[in-house]
Amino acid sequence: MTSQTVTIPALSKGSFSAYLAAPSTQPRAGIVLIQEVLGVNKNMRQTADDFAKAGYLAIVPDLYWRLEPNVQLDPEEEDQWARAFKLLQAFDLDSGVEDLKATLSFLRQYPSSTGKVGKVGSVGFCLGGKLAYFMATRSDADANVSYYGVEIDKNLAEATKIQKPLILHISANDEYVSPSAQTTIQQGLKDNPFVTIYRYEGVNHGFGRVGSSAYRKEAAELASDRTLAFLRQHLG
């Protein structure tokens, strides 16, 4: 496995950086990894490395670049959460989706020793979980995975646009997604043939964040196994 920082041209103007992790063999497919509110931090880079070790070309774009490039916040530092939420309030979601679409295009065109990477999907966490949902509604990504995505219940009108497989991993005790919001999501998507919802009892937001106080090994490993099986089925 190798890693590097690459530069991606924005669809409008400017460019932004991204962390790219490549497997040592021909990639199975590509994955756009979508950051939490904490930026492209150590955890997101490690997640990219893990996907690369599983055979995928994984990229994590810096979605805060218009606000402050190269944000890397520590989930265990309370003052850094305050900074994260300040950045979140200033973050323009539509621009973020456009940057993800640019990243999707970049990865599809990325050269390897045996040609283009082929299919590309997305996997997002927290803010990225919300954006992974929008990748399902607004992009042609081949498959999408949302971990504890926020505010999906407020954006279900877009669900009719979903044309590719989507997984939602929902934390039953998510402090940012209320039980009523979870019910709204499940009811709103239960008849959509492209959507699979997994709900994890007894865990909070961020249960898949390795090395953090929110991490819950059993739920995280189950979600990871389901995600990898899903990606292998729909991406390769």
Active site residue 205: yes
Tell me the C-alpha distance between 106 and 200, whole Å.
Answer: 34
SS3 10: coil
**For residue 201, what are the CA distances in angstroms to 77, 172, 179, 207?**
26, 5, 12, 11
**Of 20, 43, 16, 46, which is closest to residue 32 (Cα–Cα)?**
20
**Count of other CB atoms within 10 angstroms of residue 47:** 23
Cβ atoms 36, 130 nearer than 8 A: no
Active site residue 234: no
Pick the catalytic residue from 62, 153, 169, 205: 205
Pick the catalytic residue from 62, 169, 174, 234: 174
Reduced 3-state DSSP string for 171-210: ECCCCCCCHHHHHHHHHHHCCCCCEEEEEECCCCCCCCCC
Q: Which residues, listed in sequence order, are joined to residue 19 by a DSSP beta bridge?
A: 5, 60
- DSSP character at residue 140: -
**For residue 14, what are the CA distances in angstroms to 8, 11, 17, 18, 219?**
9, 8, 11, 14, 39
Provide the annotated active-site residues.
Answer: 174, 205
